[in-house]
Amino acid sequence: MTRIRKTFAPAARYLALLPALLAINLAATATTLTRMSLATMSQKAPVIVRARCLGNSTGWDAGEIWTFTSFEIEDVWRGAAPARIVVRLLGGRAGNITSSVSGIPRFHAGEEAVLFLEPTPRGDFSVVSWQQGTFRIRRDSRTGEESVTQDTASFATFDPATRQFEATGIRNLPIDLLRARIEAALRSTGTRRTQ
């Protein structure tokens, strides 16, 4: 970015303003999210897992087209989950039509993520607060170290208690530190970590 600033002063001035502008509280629209701290989300989500995406399928249910994503559970951080689970999220391709809903996380086969899950009445799972409950795992190709970035890392979210927006997204956090924070949050409330 430094080189950009040196070479293109007008653009650089504009770009330099971005952090300050970002400080203005903002919130996601197409999906407007209620703010949840990591601690709150840890307590809200009965199941927290590290999982690898196996694949996607789509189908109709309750008047909507859903994408059903299969995950292989690599580690259970909270609650209980079988070795494989299905997560349903709005939208997808079914027959001759496609349903699109912005703000929904989508997953590649082979992609790893930490997911905050809640069970649905259908016996599968959904992701708490969609993108807010999705943390993508990235492995540094040189060091092998793993970090996570929340899908809402660039979203500021809304706290109904204070009626304020706060930018609280997690970006490039070592995965061990994420787990430690979750465990600390659950310990503080006396919540059983795993079953």
Partner 1 sequence: MRPALAIATAALLVFSMMSGHPAEGYLLDTTVPQGGGCPASDRWNLSLASPLSRRWSTSLPLAPQTVLTVAAGGTSAQFDEIEQAISDSFGAWSGVAGTTFNATAYPGLIGPLARISAASSCTNDQESNVDGFNTICFNQSSMGFTSGVLAFTRVITANAPGVSVGSSPPAAFAGQILDADTLFRNDGQAMFVTPAALATPQGQGAYDLESLLAHEIGHWFGLDHSAVWRALMFPFAPPPGQFLGDRPTAQAPDGPLSDDDRAGIRLLYPDPNDAVNVGAIRGRVLPANPFALAEIPAPSPGAVVTGIFGAHVVALDADTGAVIAGTLGGWSCDVLNSSLQFDGSFDIERLPVGHNYTIYAEPLVGLATPGDFSDALIDLCSSSAASECTTPAADTNFNPRTRPAAP
Neighbours of 118 (CB within 10 A): 15
Question: Is residue 164 close enough to count as binding partner 1 by CB under 8 A?
Answer: yes
Total binding residues toward partner 1, as defined by CB under 8 A:
83
Closest approach of partner 1 to the CB of residue 97, in Å: 5
- Count of residues for the chain? 195
One of 52, 136, 181, 193 touching partner 1 (CB under 8 A): 136
Each residue 42-71 as x (binds partner 1 by CB under 8 A) or -, in order, gives --x----------xx-x-x-xxxx------
Q: Which is nearer to partner 1, 83 or 162 (CB)?
A: 162
Record the tokens describing residue 37, joined without a space.
């701290």
Cα three-residue angle 55-60-61, rounded to 5 degrees:
110
d(C-alpha 124, C-alpha 66), whole Å: 12
Of 82, 90, 93, nearest in space to 123 by CA: 82
Within 12-31, the residues that bind partner 1 by CB under 8 A are 13-14, 18, 21-22, 24-31
* Closest distance to partner 1 from the beta carbon of 175 (Å): 16
- For residues 11 and 184, which CB has a smaller minimum distance to partner 1 in the complex? 11
Residue 99 or 194: the one with the smaller Cβ distance to partner 1 is 99
Contacts with partner 1 in 90-129 (CB under 8 A)?
90-91, 93, 95-111, 118, 120-121, 126-129
> If residue 127 lies in a helix (H) or strand (E), which one and from where to where?
strand 125-127
How near is the Cβ of 79 to partner 1 at its closest, in Å? 15
Q: Are 84 and 49 in contact (CB under 8 A)?
A: no
Question: What's 115's DSSP letter?
Answer: E
**By CB under 8 A, residue 83 contacts partner 1:** no
CB 134 within 8 A of CB 127: yes
